[in-house]
Amino acid sequence: MKIMSVLDLNEKYIKKIKQELPDAEVVIAEEKDKQLQEIVDTDIMVCVGSFSEKEVIEKAEKLKWIQSWSAGVDGLLSDSIKPLLQEKDIVLTNMSGIHVDSLGEQVVGYLIAFSRRFKDFFKQQQEHIWDKLKVDILRDKKLLIVGTGAVGTAIAVRAAAFGMEIIGIKRDPSIVPEGFDKVYSADKLEKRLVEADFTVAAVPLTEETRDMFNQRLFALMKDSAYFINIARGEVVVEEDLIQALKDGVIAGAALDVYREEPLPEDSPLYDKENLILTPHVGGLFPDYNKRAVEVFTSNIDRFVNDRELINIINYQLGY
């Protein structure tokens, strides 16, 4: 069996893969020319979710499974790639679940930063100003989490520890995940936005969620509300968010993901004082590759024993 990775995996991780599949040939192919050469007889491919080399997929003759090294699989679900994967009956899996701790902590960090006004106090420190600004606490504040999957649940559990009221938006509101006080269906989003003190976007990128947060939704929020996006950049219309921040429609926002990454130097987002920007680091932590290999090797065991893989992407739903 042949495994082709477009990522430069450390030798210690390759050894772990071979421990699970001793007879496997593991090939590293970072450059497209090598990918085109090696993919022909590859059984399993490892790549990032933004991989979008249609020509490489077209040349695959034996490929049965693609393991994304990230949770997002936007490139692989693009209009040019997804039909190929479906036509060739290739299973796509991702790393959903391994980011929950880091993303949960990232969002809690934003919540505390807004409530305790850390950004304002840091600015005062730089300017040698001593001014006891009015600060707040999170207890009894309403946190609306749009998307109650593994990441949304991790956020809810952590935020609940602060005594917040946690509201979720999900497809099937009949099941209330851990940490949530109440959940509602997507058609109740607008009503819940009106009440929320903080709103977190934690949805996958699909046709339904693309451009979800726009001028109309921002206008429904309280002028004291904060918006946080740790989902995908494309779920937010950035121009509308910038205008909402400029006009005081909402109090502030925090973004870890953007429509264009890296964020261009001339982006107006950099200049908004009531905006916290982090460079898509929410899902990162020191042992990421170690955890990812554990997920991958577990799936290898399932694959060779003809059992269902974990974290299979539903091509119809887009996640």
Q: How far apart are CA 83 and CA 64, in angstroms?
A: 15
Distance from C-alpha of 1 to C-alpha of 117, rounded to nearest angstrom: 55
Contact 257, 241 (CB under 8 A): no
Residue 232 catalytic? yes
Residue 223 and residue 227: Cα distance in Å, rounded? 11
Per the omega criterion (within 30 degrees of 0), is the bond before 262 cis?
A: yes
Q: Specify whether the CB–CB gap between 196 and 202 falls below 8 A.
A: no
Catalytic residue among 139, 216, 261, 307: 261
DSSP string, 69-126: SSS--TTTTSTTTHHHHHHTT-EEE--TTTTHHHHHHHHHHHHHHHHTTHHHHHHHHH
Catalytic residue among 116, 117, 259, 280: 280
CA distance 190 to 195: 9
Residue type, 13: Y
DSSP-assigned beta bridge partners for residue 276: 254
CB 232 within 8 A of CB 74: yes
Q: What is the chain's alpha carbon radius of gyration, rounded to the nearest angstrom?
A: 21
From the list 165, 192, 232, 238, the catalytic residue is: 232
What whole-number distance in Å separates Cα of residue 228 and Cα of residue 154?
A: 15
Please indicate whether residue 99 is annotated as part of the active site: no
- In degrees and rounded to multiples of 5, residue 122 shows phi and psi of -65, -40
Assess whether 31 carries a catalytic annotation: no
CB distance 169 to 184 below 8 Å: yes
Which positions are catalytic?
232, 261, 280
